[in-house]
Structure 1
Amino acid sequence: MSNGSLPLAAATTLTWGIVYLATQVIVAPPLGVGPTLLLGVGLTLALTIGYPSALRGLRSTRPGWSSGQSALPSVSARLGTGGQVNGRPGNGRHGHGRTIAAVGRSIPLRSGLTAEAARRTAQLLHPLLGSDSVAITDRDQVLAFVGPGSDHHTVGDAPQTESSARVLASGKTVVVRRREKLGCPHPGCPLQSAVVAPLTNGKRVVGILKVYRLHPEPPNRGLVEGIAGILSLHLELAEFDRERKLAVDAKLDALRAQINPHFLFNTLNTITSKARTDPEEARQLLVRLSDFFRYAVRQDGHFAEFSQEYFFVRTYLSLEQARYGDRLRVRYDVDPQVLTAHVPVLIIQPLVENAVKHGLADKVDGGTVTLKARVDPLTRTTTIRVADDGLGIGPDRLEEITSGACAAQGGIGLPNISERLAALYGDRYRLDIRSQQGDGTVVDLRIPLG
């Protein structure tokens, strides 16, 4: 028990003695057990909370310690605020006292292990590590070098030291305490000691973080390994972002490929028929068909203003109306505020195509497709509804559509759309479908306002 706790223990014992005397001896008749315990516990809590003992931490804090927190020096204290690292002098010109957490949020390697990202990262870490020189390499070349030795450890050259080769081969940190062990072939190299830590992406060693000093005492191994771990995490996140982008690109290409070829053939047949009876309308339809496929194939990026997607959908429906005539009616209910909102490209048209194909195509007297869009500034969401008053979809057919089975029959399965939305938004979207035979179908999409 510490010196600060002994007085508190004595005071607590005295308090319970007073409680006993007051409730059991002085008072007649004596109080019951319940009131006695309640009074004693209340006084003990008040005494403990009000007493600045070691049990709850000192009221004042020492530099580098946090009040009421774990008795570990802060990262700032370990790194120093006057150019010191772990109590040892570093480069006084760079004594910024930045914390690992603060630097971790701004490490440029989040964009990948490139020469520019490595250069900016090395410049960021140089004052943090209190080192004389910092280098970052990939497996083939030096990407960045900051500090003495940069005249011969030049960017673009292969890693020269034997320690670099050992780390790349083993994936384990190497601590070098003598210049000859460093293995630099340059005779005038001023570097004397180093900690060389691997940079990994998963289980693969993809590069090296090298922290040098001009005297035999090497940098703190734990600190360098910690920084290398943070850099490796950022590299893994960069790889994840790259793979995620590739997946989103692939899903967009898949949606482009799934544009119903029957739609093209049927539209061309309609145009051929119109050419005999109304050449001007046939020409206009050809222009619209050209606009439709030009937008679908050449649209750059994954997002577009709603106004562009709206034009695309209207173009598609005008071509379908030329085919179905009065059997296909269209109603638009679009809030003008939605027109400038950004939405994923090629998302709305497939929903409309499904409404035509599965809802109205087989209905003798046709029906109406409704496109409704709103912006909710309070929740910062864009809501899009595609509805039809067609035949509706039976449970079995609805299962095919939601499972993606209909894609093989020329349709576009909702899972394909949902997977792309998930890749773009994570769990920040909703895609719901409601249908009953004879009552039509409603598809609701809610996405973040962009």
Structure 2
Amino acid sequence: MRTRRELTTPAERAVHATLHTASLAAHPLRRGLDQQSAEEAAPHLRLLTGADALGIASDDGDLLAWNGPYPELAERFTELARQSAVDGRRALVSNPGSGAIALVAQPLVVEDAGVVGVLGVVTNTSPGPGMLSAITEVARYASSQIELAELDASRARLDRAEVRALRAQISPHFIYNALNTIASFVRTDPDRARELILEFADFTRYSFRTAGEFTVLADELRNIDRYLTLERARFGSALQCKIQVAPEVLNVVLPFLALQPLVENAVRHGLAGKTGTVTVTAEDAGTDCVVSVEDDGVGMDPEVLRSGALDAVEGGESAHVGLANVDDRLRAAFGNDYGLVVDTAPGAGTKVSMRVPKFRAGIAAAPPRPTMDPL
């Protein structure tokens, strides 16, 4: 029988131990540099540098963590850290006190951000070129993890900005027309007006919520149904709607407000005021879920799509509001295999489909928030 190859040589064991220690240091630093992450990473960084004691300071020189003996040297380290942060260069003090041989302050530098912190090393031996090089490499490694944390945070901020942009793109004409439609029922059919007011309130409450960048398909479809209810009240029999959903995909997670732009475009630009049908389907496709929004309206020239003009301007207003935004968010969340697919031709209607994985590690919908009971 063949067994897994063991790490037998000292060199192999040393490499394995170093990589394991580096991964333990990376985990907290990927959250960004603060007191908690510094305290968690400090013992692992100390092992990597071979230091007798190790400190981590902020870019202002404030002490975030100290690991090992010589706590009385922490204040001396913060003074050296401030100098190193300003200069952006390594600083070294021989015989800093308490019997230590050297104190080294190595700035943590992130490209385009400058110094984000300072690594401090206390040693009982004179730091030679090898040790100084090791300190530099560990600092560079720590800096790269902090930079990745900032990139993650920037991506999250971008996602939030894109959601805000989608909210802003919810047509003001729709809101104006919905309120006008409700007003028209107030005298002729008060019960119907009340129902529409509640649908409108729930639609706007969901669309402008602040909880997370992801939602489940069931919630997204529920809001689409509210939107279509309001539009059918306005257009009457000119607008027919069909929603066909496989029950097993209702809990699939997708970007928040991913469906709204697709359905709104089908109503506004696909039917263009003509009598027609909008069909929303969600199907089980093995490891994926396929959601499609189709209209039997005017369609468009595929060449416009091939030119990359998903958000082309027609008459001063976006012809396909938010589709490029949704496409970008799908690809950012799930990869390039999960963008939008558009099938259209002049006079043949338009079908926009998205493929979403049933499960993706690290992506989850925000927990539902309680809604207020209507008065």
Using the TM superposition, name which of 253-262 and 137-146 deviates more. 137-146
CA distance, structure 2, for counterparts of residue 252 and residue 361 of structure 1: 26
SS of 2:78's equivalent in the other structure is: coil
1:213 lines up with 2:123 in the alignment? yes
Answer whether contact 1:342 1:449 (CA < 8 A) is retained. yes
Contact 1:247 1:423 survives alignment (8 Å): no
In 2, the alpha carbon distance for the partners of 1:358 and 1:224 equals: 61
The answer to whether the Cα contact below 8 Å between 1:428 and 1:448 also exists between their aligned partners in 2 is no
CA distance in 1, matches of 2:52, 2:98: 13
Q: Do the aligned residues in 1 keep the contact of 2:296 with 2:350 (CA within 8 Å)? A: yes
Label 1:433 to 1:256 Cα distance change in 2 as closer, same or farther (>3 A): same
Aligned partners of 2:294 and 2:90: how far apart in 1?
61
Q: Superposition pairs for residues 4-403 of structure 1, below 5 Å? A: 63-65=9-11, 76=14, 98-99=17-18, 101-106=19-24, 107=26, 108-140=28-60, 141-151=62-72, 153=74, 159-161=78-80, 164-176=81-93, 178-179=94-95, 182=96, 189-202=98-111, 204-216=114-126, 220-363=131-274, 366-377=275-286, 380-394=287-301, 402-403=310-311
Following the alignment from structure 1 to structure 2, what is the Cα–Cα distance between the partners of residues 232 and 152? 24
Deviations 1:77-129 (A, max 9, x none): 6xxxxxxxxxxxxxxxxxxx821x22333321111111111111102222343
Gaps of 5+ in 2: 1-6, 360-375
Q: How has the CA–CA distance of structure 1 residues 229 and 160 changed in structure 2, closer, same or farther, with 3 Å as cutoff? A: same
Superposition deviation, residue 354 in structure 1:
0.4
Q: CA deviation at 1:408?
A: 5.1
How far 1:448 sits from its partner (Å)? 2.4
Q: Once the 2 structures are TM-superposed, how far is the Cα of residue 197 of structure 1 from its aligned partner?
A: 1.9
Per the TM alignment, residue 393 of structure 1 is displaced from its structure 2 partner at its CA by 2.1
| Native 8 Å contact 2:57 2:118 kept in 1 | yes
Following superposition, the deviation at residue 276 of structure 1 comes to 2.2
Q: How many residues align?
A: 346
- Change in Cα spacing, 1:222 to 1:339, as seen in structure 2 (3 Å) is same
What is the TM-score of this pair, normalised by structure 2?
0.84
Tell me how far apart the structure 1 counterparts of residues 127 and 269 of structure 2 sit (CA, whole Å): 75
Runs of 4+ in structure 1 deviating by more than 6 angstroms, as ranges, are none
The Cα shift of 1:275 comes to 1.6
**Residue 120 of structure 2: SS of its match in structure 1?**
strand
- Using the aligned pairs only, state the percent identity: 35
Deviations 1:241-261 (A, max 9, x none): 111111111110000011001
Distance 1:444 1:407 in 2: 26
- Please provide the CA RMSD for this pair: 2.6
In structure 2, the residue corresponding to 1:347 is in which secondary structure? coil
Following superposition, the deviation at residue 216 of structure 1 comes to 4.0
Q: CA deviation at 1:146?
A: 0.8
Aligned to 1:50: none
The CA deviation string for residues 388-408 of structure 1, in whole angstroms up to 9 with x for no partner, is 111222458767961342595
Distance change (3 Å), C-alpha of 1:217 and 1:110: same
3-state SS, counterpart of residue 220 of structure 1: helix
Distance 1:397 1:216, change over 3 A: closer
2: CA distance, partners of 1:438 / 1:258? 26
> Whose strand fraction is larger, Structure 1's or Structure 2's?
2
Q: Distance in 2 between matches of 1:375 and 1:345?
A: 20
Please report how far the alpha carbon of residue 359 of structure 1 lies from its aligned counterpart in structure 2 after TM superposition.
1.4
What per-residue deviation string (whole Å, max 9, x for no partner) do you get for residues 151-191 of structure 1?
A: 4526xx98123xx3443233233454x31xx4xxxxx6343
| Aligned CA distance change for structure 1 residues 359 and 374 (closer, same or farther; 3 Å) | same
Q: How does 1:434-445 map to 2 (within 5 A)?
A: 434-445=343-354
The aligned amino acid for 2:40 is R
Measure, in 2, the Cα distance between the counterparts of 1:212 and 1:153: 10
CA apart distance, 1:299 = 4.5
Could you say if the C-alpha distance between residues 421 and 280 of structure 1 is closer, same or farther in structure 2, counting changes exceeding 3 Å? same
CA-CA distance at 1:240 after TM superposition: 0.9
> Residues 92 and 103 of structure 2 are in contact (CA less than 8 Å); yes or no, is this contact kept in structure 1?
yes
Contact kept, 8 Å, 2:216 with 2:253, in 1: the verdict is yes
CA distance in 2, matches of 1:400, 1:409: 17
Cα deviation, residue 422, structure 1: 3.2
Q: Which whole-Å CA distance do the structure 2 matches of 1:428 and 1:332 have between them?
A: 25
Q: Which residue of 1 aligns with 2:371?
A: none
Q: Structure 1: 5+ residue runs without aligned partners? A: 1-60, 66-73, 78-96, 183-187
CA distance in 2, matches of 1:406, 1:223: 60
- Residue 17 of structure 1 corresponds to which residue in structure 2? none
Shift of 1:302: 0.7
Deviations 1:371-391 (A, max 9, x none): 1112334xx222111111112
